[in-house]
Structure 1
Amino acid sequence: MTYRWSRGTVPRAPRAPAQTLFRRLFVINGLVFAAGTLVLALSPATVSSPVLLAEVPVLLVGLALILGANALLLRRSLAPLDALTALMQRVDLLRTGDRLSDSGHGDLTYLIDTFNAMLDRLEAERSASSAHALAAQEGERQRIARELHDEIGQSLTVVLLGLKRVVDRAPADLQDELHGVQETVRASLDEVRQVARRLRPGVLEDLGLHSALSALSSDISQTSGVPVTRSVQHDLPELGADVELVLYRIAQESLTNVARHAHATRAELSLATEDGRLTLRVSDNGRGGALHEGAGIRGMRERALLIGANLTVDSPPGEGTRVRLVIPDGGT
C-alpha cells in the first residue's frame, strides 16, 4: 500500500505582524537604494577623490531625493498604523460598530483583521456580561418591590387602620394632632407604593407597554411638575418581553433625568415605527450640556446593547437633551 501526499492541502500560517512589517520596510528601503545605485551607475556624474566643492551640491541633491522618496513610501506604508492607533484611543465597547476598514493595505491586512476580530469578541463578551448583570439587577428590583409592597405597605396599612380607631376614641383636643399623624403615614404609604412601582412596573406586565409608558409619564408629571407630552403608536409590532423592558427602563431613566437635572418646563416622549425601525424619543427644553456621561446614560447604553439597538444622546448647552433609541429590526 502506498501513500500519496497531496500538495496544497496544508494551509499556510499567516506571517506574524512583526515579520510582515520588517519585510515591508526592508523591501521599500531596498528598492529606494537600488534605484539610487542604478541612477548613479547610469548617470554621467562622477565623484572626485577627494570630493571637489562643486560636487557637494550634486551629492546633497541626490541624498535629499533618496531620503524624500524613502520617507514618502514609508509614510504611505505605515498610514494604517496611525488609523489603528486613533481607533484604539476612541474605541468604546458601549458604542458598537467602530471598525477599521481594509483599503488594500497589503501585508497589514492581517493586523487590521485581527484587531477588528478582537473588538467583535470584546463586544460580545461585554454584551453577555451586561445581560447577566442586568438580569440580576431586575431580579433584585422585583424582590425589593415585593417586600416593600407586601411587608412595609401592609404594615403601614395596619398602622393607618389602628390610627383611625384611635382617632374615633380620642378626646377632641388630640384629634387634630392624630389627623396629622394619619396624613403623614398615608403619605409614607403612597411613597412606598410609588417606589415599588418604579422598581417593578407591574402595569408593564399586566397591561402592556402602551399603558406603562402612559402611567410613567403621568407619574413624572405629578412628582416633578414638568408636563410630559406622550405620543405612542397604537399599532406597534409585537414586541418581546426583553424589548419592552428595555424600552420602558430607558424611557424611565430619561424622564427621571429630565425631572432631576434638566431644569426643563416641558418634555416629550414618543414611540413609533420610522422606516421600519422602532424608535423611542425623549426630549426636553432644559439646559442641556450633558458633556460627561454618568452611570445613568451608560446604563441605558448597556440595556440598548442587549437588544441590538442604537442609542444616541444629543445635549447641546442651552438647547435641551434628546435621547433616541433605534431598534433596527423593528423590535421583532
Structure 2
Amino acid sequence: MSLFGRIFLLNALVLVVAAALLVFGPATVSTPALLGEVLVLAAGLVVMLIANAVLIRVGLAPLGRLTRAMTTIDLLRPGPRLTARGHGEIAELITTFNSMIDRLEAERGYSAARALSAQEAERRRVAQELHDEVGQSLTAVLLGLKRVADQSPDPVREELLQVQETTRSTLDEIRRIARRLRPGVLEELGLVSALKALIAEISEPAGLTVRRSFDKNLPALDAETELVVYRVAQEGLTNTVRHAGAGEIELTVRGRQSSVELRIRDNGRGIGSSAEGAGIRGMRERALLVGAELTVGAAPGGGTEVRLVVEARG
C-alpha cells in the first residue's frame, strides 16, 4: 500500500468510527447545544485527533529513522545500513537510500584511490627531482666551496667554511624531505624497518621519547596496504609532534592472525571536542582504500590514541 493510501486509510478509519458513534450512540445534540453536549463533543474531538496523530506517527516512524540517518551519516565512517522496515513506499525508500549510500561510498573510494595514487606519484616525482637535481647541484656547490676555501686566505676561508656548513645542512634537510615524500626504506627493507626509520627521523629533532614494539613474523601485507600503514603512522606521529605537546609516544605493531594492528599513543593534551582536521580525514580516506578500520580518540590515562587494523592481503 502506498504512503498516500495508508494515511488516507488511517484518517478514514478514525472518521468512520466517529460517525458510527454519532449514528448508533445514545448521544444527541440539541439546538442550541447544551453545555454538557458541547463538552461531550469536545472530548470526542480530542480523542479522535489523538488517535489520528498516534496512528499517523506509527505509520511514519520509519521516515523519522531515515531522516536521522541522512543527517548523521559520514562516508568516511561507514556503518550498518538501515533495516527496510515499514510497508510499501517507505520500505522501498529505505532500500533506495541504502543503495544510494553504497554507490556513494564506492564512488568516493574510487575517486579517493585515484587522488591518492596521483598524490603518491607526484610525491615520488618531486622526491626524485630533489634528490637528482637539487641534491646534485648542492653537492657540486659543496665541492666548489671546498676547492675555493682550500685556496683562500684564512679570513675568507672561515667565511667559506660557514657557507659550506650552511649548504651541507640545507642538503641534509632536502634529503630528509625527499625521504618523507618517497619512503625508499619501505620499498627496499619493508614496513618494520621503514617505521623504525620514521620514528628516528621524527622523534629525535623534537626530543620525544618513543617506546616501540613490533611483533615478529607479522602477516604479509601487499605494497598498497603497507603504504597505508606507513602514511597513517607518519601522519599520527607528525600530528603528535605539532599539536599534542606530548613527551612520550608508544608505537606498537601487532599481528592478529590474518590482520595487522598499528597503535600510536601519546601523553599529550588530547583532541578533546575539536573537529577533525585534514590530517585525520586523510588517514580515514587511506584506511577506506584498503578496507581498514581506523579509530582516533582519547587514550587511557589521557592523550590521544590512533588505532589502525588492516587485513592481510599479501
Give the TM-score of the pair, scaled to structure 2. 0.94
> What are the superposed Cα offsets for residues 143-181 of structure 1, whole Å, 9 maximum, x if unpaired?
000000011111111111122222222212222222211
Secondary structure of the 2:26 match is coil
Distance 1:250 1:146 in 2: 22
Which residue in 1 is equivalent to 2:122?
A: 140
Give the RMSD, CA atoms, in angstroms.
1.8
Name the counterpart of 1:297. Answer: 280
> How many Å apart are 1:95 and its aligned residue?
1.2
Alpha-carbon offset, residue 51 of structure 1? 2.1
In structure 2, give the amino acid aligned to 1:305: L
Could you tell me which runs of 5 or more consecutive residues in structure 1 were left unpaired when the two chains were aligned. 1-14
One-letter amino acid of the counterpart of residue 311, structure 1: L
Segments ≥4 residues shifted beyond 4 Å: none
SS in 1 for 2:81: coil
What is the rounded CA distance, in whole Å, between the counterparts of 1:274 and 1:50 in structure 2? 84
**1:307 aligns with one of 263, 278, 290:** 290
Q: Note the C-alpha offset of 1:115.
A: 0.7
Structure 1 equivalent of residue 264 of structure 2: 282
Q: Is 1:253 aligned with 2:215?
A: no
Residue 79 of structure 1: CA displacement?
A: 1.6
Aligned to 2:275, the other structure's residue is in SS state coil
Could you tell me which of 64, 70, 79 is aligned with 1:88?
Answer: 70
Match of 1:3 in 2: none
Give matches, 1:53-64, under 5 Å: 53-64=35-46
Give the alignment partner of residue 106 of structure 1, picking from 87, 102, 113: 87
SS class of match (1:106):
coil
Q: Deviation of residue 94 (structure 1)? A: 1.1
* Conserved 8 A contact 2:287-2:294: yes
1:233-290 deviation per Cα after TM superposition (whole angstroms, max 9, x unaligned): 2211111111000000010011011111111101111111347542211121111135
Q: Which residue of 2 aligns with 1:8?
A: none
User: Residue 218 of structure 1 aligns with which residue?
Assistant: 200
Contact 1:153 1:193 in 2 (8 A): yes
Question: TM-score, length-normalised on structure 1?
Answer: 0.89
Name which of 177, 181, 202 aligns with 2:159.
177
1:264 aligns with 2:246: yes
Contact 2:219 2:258 in 1 (8 A): no
1:304·1:311 contact (CA, 8 Å) conserved in 2? yes
Larger mean CA deviation between 236-245 and 166-175 belongs to: 166-175
Measure the CA separation in 1 of the matches of 2:21 and 2:194: 80
Return 216-225 or 35-44, whichever deviates more: 35-44
TM-fit CA distance, 1:97:
2.1
Q: 5+ unaligned residues in a row in structure 2: which ranges?
A: none
SS of the counterpart of 2:264?
A: strand
Counterpart secondary structure, 2:295: strand
Residue of structure 2 in register with 1:323 after alignment:
306
SS of aligned partner of 2:253: strand
1:188 and 2:164 correspond: no
Identify the range of structure 1 (29-38 vs 268-277) with the bigger mean alpha-carbon deviation. Answer: 268-277
Aligned residues: 311
Q: In 1, Cα distance between the equivalents of 2:65 and 2:257?
A: 33
Which residue does the alignment assign to 1:72? 54
Structure 2 distance, partners of 1:203, 1:184, is: 27
> Percent identical across equivalent pairs?
56
Shift of 1:331: 4.6
| In the alignment, structure 1 residue 160 sits paired with structure 2 residue 142 | yes
Question: 1: CA distance between counterparts of 2:309 and 2:133?
Answer: 39
- Indicate conservation of the 8 Å contact 1:91/1:98, yes or no: no
